[in-house]
Structure 1
Amino acid sequence: MRPEEKFFAKINSARTNIFAVTLLCAAVFIAYANSFFGAFQFDDFKVIVNNPRVHSWYAWWQDLQQGIRPLLKFTYTADWTTGLGAAGFHLTNVLIHLCNTWLVWLLTRHFAANHHALRAMPALPLLVALLFAVHPVHTEAVTYICGRSGALMTLFYFAGMLFYIAGKAQHNKLYLHLLTPLCMLLALWVKETAVTFPAALLLWEIYSGGSLKSALRMQWSSWLLLLASAIFFLLHDGYLAQMEISAGFNSLQGNLATQTQAFSYLLRQWLFPLWLNIDPDLRVLHDFTGLWLQLVLLVFCIILIIFNFSGRPWLSFALAWALLQLFPLYLFLPRIDIANDRQLYLASWPLALALLAELAIRVPPKLFRPGVALLLLILAGLTVMRNQEYQSEISLWEATAQYSPEKARVQNNLGYAYMLEDRPVEAHRAFATALQLDPNYYKAHYNLQRLSEEAAGTDELQMRRRKN
């Protein structure tokens, strides 16, 4: 029996699997139980609440020809037509997260089976999945309803990888050349960043000991789909318009500097999830001025990837995976919002693997088990606390204003939340702050004028009542 077969025999008993699945379900629902009471937030109104294209099946069908992300909109339409409101959307998001947690468990088992040092840690896959389940940085992909795009794309992304792994092990062309690219296609119908999927397969093959020649023989169908998708995006008016806006946003040097900043920020968010922020105040950069610390971090990560390829492949793989998901695509098609926590949803799974593997190697077992248990409890507690901030627009934007106090959009959104709750004094203060930060921010001008008109109307109504 090969070493990887012995590893699976050790961890693949029915009792072990039932225990693992039960524990993962419990972890997800305990961490996200209070998310069901969350409100629609931020872009939810533009994408869902005020978007008639996801309010009926007829409208969804009509949007297919010119719209983008059809599968994502399919799920929004399904949730909207149930009539359950925000709670129905939250239920779907939590179920997607639960499925992804299970897929992370399976992927980690396969990765561990390929590496001798990890095969000595039968509990590692379950611990990695638990960390993925409760890490608070994922709340933006789970509790924030619009964050579904990243989580649902990740589901098909991970499923495609597992079909590829099974197809390779079983020499099954159906898995390799039909089901694997089909999952990639479904992921692309949710979010375009799934174009990294073939490169992720290649990365997996490199860290599994495969050759480039054998990888391309098993992956050609996924690369062919990537080429076809690129042509489709260029010919589709909706996608092309988005890409043209993005491509003209900055120079290549500026994109490199901006993404270096974003990569550093996102790594910090994963390692120290104490400043979770739905609208971080990161500026578009045009050169590397004042960015030496972030550059050192980026170079250090690349050095770790190279020099740990053989000795600590889990660490090398984790950083290479994170770089693949967070860096190259945005050099050419940068995001208008520089970085968001939800980008880490796809990127973070191998980081959890690397962290726990290193702890298991370096920390004595008597300290490792209670230490990891304490870490998981702390992360779950932070997740519950973050979910609580999504309960209302005011609570979310008050929390955001603490970490982005000098961003005009944050102050405007906070003011708008106050205005909706009939708190004009706080609303006026927030709008005024937004205009101090950016005098040309037209939304704050409009909202302040609207607030003044409503106040004048209220005063006039009170005067009429007094006369009567």
Structure 2
Amino acid sequence: MATAVPTLVVAVALAYANAFGAAWQFDDFASFLAHPATQSLAGWWDALPGIRPLLKLSYALTRELGGGVIAVHATNIAIHALNACLLWALWRRWLPELAPSLARPDVAALLAALLFALHPAATEAVTYASGRSMSLAAAFGLAALVADDIVRVDPSRRRYAWAGVVLFALALAVRETAVAVAAVPLLRAWAAGQSLRVALWRLRGWACVLAAAAVAALATPGYRVFFGVSVATRDLAAQAMGQLLAHGYLFTHSLAGFTNIDPDLRVPAAWSPVLTACAALLVALVASMFAARRRHPWLAFAIAWYLVQLAPGNSLLPRLDLANDRHLYLALAGPMLALAILVVQLRARVLAGAIAVALCVVLAFATVQRNADYRSETALWQATVRDSPRKPRAWLNLGYAYRADGDTRRAAAAYRCALMLDPANAQAAINLDLVAPGDTAPARCPE
């Protein structure tokens, strides 16, 4: 389909047209505006060895070339468009094997890539400047998968094998969770009923990269601190309960299009009916994956893709936040592939076309609406406290945004709410004293 790439690029450009003016937010100030490694190429070089060096290099290049917030967002949007195109390239190569009875695999491949490109859950990895780690790692990982598949189909094109190894290494240099990309060729072979041994042997170069990356991480002080803090965050039992809740949230909220940069998810103190429901959902997904392998390998692959891409950040290794929309970024491609195939399989082509158009329009509209929340710090945190009204950090950040706007009355009200929800929040107490010294107003959360 000669028009597929232009269609995807135009779709991303339209859905993210209002993201160019998005303001700096939350982690942007520490990870980009104030971090020495992102200020210049010299600063980046001096900071080596460090965590996620290629991600920091991408920011440093922007600053070195004189780019500001618009250039950062333009780069993120271009990366997202590239990822949609790479997914389309993968799906059109793999669908004849994963869905051999599908009458229009090219249409399904394009629709799956479009749904991924337009889904509002991707905005945190695109419109939020600090979310680039997810999208840039995905770009290198998806390019590595395309290169690997070229060699699989035509073994004589050996240069693509080396390209795949290098691209996979670059993905890991952007974000360590890109390790999940290495499992994708095995998932495709498993779902299609092909030899896992052959697929594994073809990935021997990738295995060497993983070994080298593990050694490099152990030798890098920043990674040792990073993983040390993570392991000390909570014990295994608490992590298991927390991640059950996180998977339930991602599936029922982020995947369904309900975006939130700071969801109110807390580690459960004990087992509950909600955790039972989350566990049942996860078991049902895994059971469906194995049950679908023989008759619907595309569905087994789509579910496996989703679960495997979430695994590095949402399984055994604890994180301070249980779940964020941006961690769904690459995992999102699996469910969107399954949804696209279900639509294309409908016998009534007019109905299938109408549903496809409706899905794209609804998702694009939701993305445009979500991008509008990023127009200012105040707008983003107003949206966040609307969705996480019981989370002290959301009110604390809203208070900071109001204070930056010069609205000390609303800032004080937000800080009071943060203190009511968390009386031990020292930062909220300090900030309240700065905007309202000697404040004695009643603590309550404003509408």
TM-score with structure 2 setting the length: 0.94
Paired position in structure 2 for 1:88: 71
Q: Secondary structure at the match of 2:106?
A: coil
User: CA 1:168/1:287 → structure 2, altered by over 3 Å: closer, same or farther?
Assistant: farther
Aligned length: 437
Cα distance in structure 1, aligned partners of 2:137 and 2:422? 35
The 10-residue stretch of structure 1 (309-318 or 415-424) with the greater mean CA deviation from structure 2? 309-318
Structure showing greater Rg: 1
Q: Secondary structure at the match of 1:189?
A: helix
Alignment of 1:73-112 (within 5 A): 73-112=56-95
Question: Is residue 2:52 matched to residue 1:69?
Answer: yes
TM-superposition CA deviations, 1:145-169 (whole Å, max 9, x none): 0000000000011011111100111
Cα distance in structure 2, aligned partners of 1:395 and 1:363? 44
Cα deviation, residue 108, structure 1: 0.8
Which of the two has greater helix per residue?
1
Alignment of 1:109-188 (within 5 A): 109-114=92-97, 115-172=99-156, 174-175=158-159, 177-188=161-172
Counterpart amino acid of residue 87 in structure 1:
I
Paired position in structure 2 for 1:410: 394
Equivalent of 1:326 in 274, 294, 310: 310
Q: Secondary structure at the match of 1:150?
A: helix
Paired position in structure 2 for 1:30: 14
Q: Indicate conservation of the 8 Å contact 1:253/1:286, yes or no.
A: no
Cα deviation, residue 286, structure 1: 5.4
Cα distance in structure 2, aligned partners of 1:407 and 1:211? 49
Q: Indicate conservation of the 8 Å contact 1:112/1:119, yes or no.
A: no
Counterpart amino acid of residue 95 in structure 2:
A
Cα distance in structure 2, aligned partners of 1:99 and 1:244? 34
Q: Give the aligned CA root-mean-square deviation in angstroms.
A: 1.8
TM-superposition CA deviations, 1:92-112 (whole Å, max 9, x none): 001101110110110110121
The 10-residue stretch of structure 1 (202-211 or 299-308) with the greater mean CA deviation from structure 2? 202-211
Question: Is residue 2:358 matched to residue 1:374?
Answer: yes
Cα distance in structure 2, aligned partners of 1:199 and 1:334? 21
Q: Indicate conservation of the 8 Å contact 1:132/1:352, yes or no.
A: yes
Q: Secondary structure at the match of 2:158?
A: helix
Paired position in structure 1 for 2:286: 302
Equivalent of 1:440 in 416, 424, 428: 424
User: CA 1:73/1:371 → structure 2, altered by over 3 Å: closer, same or farther?
Assistant: same
TM-superposition CA deviations, 1:383-406 (whole Å, max 9, x none): 111111100000000000001111
Cα deviation, residue 454, structure 1: 12
Q: Secondary structure at the match of 1:347?
A: coil
Cα deviation, residue 173, structure 1: 6.9
Cα deviation, residue 198, structure 1: 2.0
**Where do 5+ consecutive residues of structure 2 fail to align?**
440-447
Cα distance in structure 1, aligned partners of 2:396 and 2:335? 35
Cα distance in structure 1, aligned partners of 2:321 and 2:144? 28
Counterpart amino acid of residue 118 in structure 1:
L
TM-superposition CA deviations, 1:326-362 (whole Å, max 9, x none): 1365433222111111111110112111011122224
Report % sequence identity: 38
Cα distance in structure 2, aligned partners of 1:176 and 1:268? 39
Paired position in structure 2 for 1:284: 267
Counterpart amino acid of residue 78 in structure 1:
L
Paired position in structure 1 for 2:443: none
Counterpart amino acid of residue 110 in structure 2:
L
The 10-residue stretch of structure 1 (330-339 or 85-94) with the greater mean CA deviation from structure 2? 330-339
Q: Secondary structure at the match of 2:318?
A: coil
TM-score with structure 1 setting the length: 0.90
Counterpart amino acid of residue 108 in structure 1:
W
